[in-house]
Chain A
């Protein structure tokens, strides 16, 4: 650490330190029998200017991790670094990190403008600087007209904007957002998703965004960390997470998945030669740090598979069409395979399409070899 001290000031050639670096962070609540491991040995690196999303089901520890970064709680073990500085023991008012709270936590006894200026006042900024920044922030979130409104007289979307402006005003190094959109209705949520992303690009501040909505995570993030039960299961770009889910949980949590049992014939580097139950052999990429052996589970996304009437080629999965679900933009087909599992395919609807299949019909499922992704287990 001592050697790196100079880097922040002049040495621009050296790579920027990570915005946030969490090293083997563990957080336990309670004692003895009631002990809950909210975070279990979590490590992650979040780069400067990144839109980073923590995604996971309720109770997986997302808020806990955010609160540790913000400084509201201290880790039981491990360290959190902000641009190379260990902040684990620093109180929240000494960290250049701001939070947009899940319930916004706007000060009800202050106006919109007062809320936004609060952080700047606490930092002891000069009056005219505060005035200018508040004006800029109000413009940024398009709330100029409501600057003297009390915050309890605002709609949900407006409160959301004020919370954003308030957290952005001190220009923190990292902005934490805890499910900021969950209280909004669907349409407003969609709008705010775009605005948030836009804001992140404009300000260049690192965003750490928490959500349990996979669609939100996929559309907004540069990278996503999928969490479950206090652990990080996979970190990657939305594409990586979707196309190469690391394990069964990630695969089923994000999008729909068909799980099929495959046999590993051989492993060559990061690829494996697999044999499907129908007898076909395919080559597919492997998740990191994982050498499969014997029978393993693989995933095939419904939209990567197609339905063909009749028995198809040799080696295709055969089955009986059990159910057709019309979804407007596309149609889902539920196929019962010989081993009594259900396989789902999905195809986009075309205009003037006539019903090509019917229930009870014998069908086969076709997909490309790349569609098969082996899962860690």
Chain B
């Protein structure tokens, strides 16, 4: 019994020391991430169960008030409890606008990714580069650029007015529409990139085979191309949906104070609202929504790589 064990030792020792080395190499990054990214998330969870301090901050006393306040509104004067309409409106707006944004970026991004994927190979990286450049530039600046286009004295309104189509500017800024346009604009590259990745891998002899079997262009698109690039569609949708849901800068700049999304509501609690536990509870809610979306993504991708549809 002992001899074979001893004989196998050098190998497993080597393996073990290699694993130890790998952990040691990764450790510093993990420590920093734990300290300044994932670890603090736990504190948020804890905070959501504390009582609010009078001037911001918290009182270290267990309370479910914050969670209660996420959904309900208690009138300070007569003590009646109603549904927290304001919160629900904002939550609904976040989900709805994120969803619409995802749909629009998909509708625009799919043809764009397809266009790039069908260029001659040597030109593709240049087209792709043109998509990525805006992505690597400042989100705030891009949002600001949209603001300049859609505000009352902006490019669109001035243009329409000079053309005589309208005589007073259309109010676009500080509406849901503005937020949606802005998010579509800033997150479009996130849709195109994964779509392109799966289209580039698309085996075009399958398209040839479909044409060979009498499919029309429309049928080729619907029966062959779309089902085959579905992983890219799902990945792109998730990549757009998640940051849209947590968007902060875009609704703040384009929605003004009027049209808030979840991110702005959270900020409000840590600023003027002075209700940190409520802010924490809202953050946890947002995180839960995002995790649910991610989980759904993992589920569907697993199903797709798995057995028969």
**So, do A and B actually touch in the complex, CB under 8 Å?**
yes
Q: What B residues does A119 contact at CB under 8 A?
A: 213-214
Query: Which listed residue (B208, B213, B309) contacts A118, Cβ 8 A?
Result: B213
| B209 lies within 8 A of A107 (CB) | yes
Nearest residue (CB) in B for A67 is B208
| B308 lies within 8 A of A98 (CB) | no
Nearest residue (CB) in A for B223 is A118
Which residues of B in the span 199-238 have a Cβ within 8 Å of any Cβ on A? Answer: 203, 205-206, 208-216, 219, 223-224, 227-228
| A103-116 Cβ-contact flags toward B at 8 Å (1 or 0) | 10111110100000
> Min CB distance, B309 to chain A, in Å?
7
Q: What B residues does A166 contact at CB under 8 A?
A: 213
Q: Report the bound CA distance from A166 to B308 in whole Å.
A: 19
Asked if A204 CB lies within 8 Å of chain B CBs, one says: no
| A101 lies within 8 A of B215 (CB) | no
Which residues of A in the span 77-115 have a Cβ within 8 Å of any Cβ on B? Answer: 91-94, 97-99, 101, 103, 105-109, 111
Which residues of B in the span 34-93 have a Cβ within 8 Å of any Cβ on A? Answer: none
Q: How many residues of B contact A (CB 8 A)?
A: 20
Q: Report the bound CA distance from A107 to B203 in whole Å.
A: 10
Q: Report the bound CA distance from A54 to B219 in whole Å.
A: 32
| A92 lies within 8 A of B211 (CB) | yes
| B205 lies within 8 A of A122 (CB) | no
| B219 lies within 8 A of A122 (CB) | yes
> Min CB distance, B290 to chain A, in Å?
29
Q: Report the bound CA distance from A111 to B227 in whole Å.
A: 13
Q: Report the bound CA distance from A93 to B224 in whole Å.
A: 15
Q: Report the bound CA distance from A71 to B215 in whole Å.
A: 13
| A109 lies within 8 A of B215 (CB) | no
Q: What A residues does B307 contact at CB under 8 A?
A: 150
Q: Report the bound CA distance from A105 to B307 in whole Å.
A: 19
Q: What A residues does B228 contact at CB under 8 A?
A: 108-109
Q: Report the bound CA distance from A150 to B304 in whole Å.
A: 12
Query: Which listed residue (A94, A97, A107, A111) contacts B308, Cβ 8 A?
Result: A111
| A170 lies within 8 A of B214 (CB) | yes
Asked if A235 CB lies within 8 Å of chain B CBs, one says: no
Asked if A148 CB lies within 8 Å of chain B CBs, one says: yes
Q: Report the bound CA distance from A170 to B210 in whole Å.
A: 13
| B308 lies within 8 A of A93 (CB) | no
Q: What B residues does A70 contact at CB under 8 A?
A: 208, 212
Given contacts A101-B205, A103-B205, A105-B205, contact A93 B216 (CB under 8 A): yes
| A122 lies within 8 A of B213 (CB) | yes
Q: Report the bound CA distance from A118 to B210 in whole Å.
A: 8
| A105 lies within 8 A of B208 (CB) | yes
| A160-176 Cβ-contact flags toward B at 8 Å (1 or 0) | 00000011001000000
**30 A–B pairs (Cβ distance < 8 Å), ordered by A:** A70-B208, A70-B212, A72-B208, A72-B211, A72-B212, A91-B211, A92-B208, A93-B213, A93-B214, A98-B212, A98-B213, A101-B208, A101-B209, A103-B203, A105-B203, A105-B205, A107-B206, A107-B209, A107-B224, A108-B206, A109-B227, A109-B309, A118-B210, A119-B214, A122-B213, A122-B216, A150-B307, A166-B213, A167-B212, A170-B213
Residue positions of B touching A, CB distance < 8 A: 203, 205-206, 208-216, 219, 223-224, 227-228, 307-309
Given A93-B213, A93-B214, A167-B213, 16 more A-B residue pairs with CB atoms under 8 Å apart are: A70-B212, A71-B211, A72-B212, A92-B212, A93-B215, A93-B216, A94-B214, A99-B209, A99-B212, A101-B209, A105-B208, A107-B224, A109-B228, A118-B223, A122-B210, A122-B215
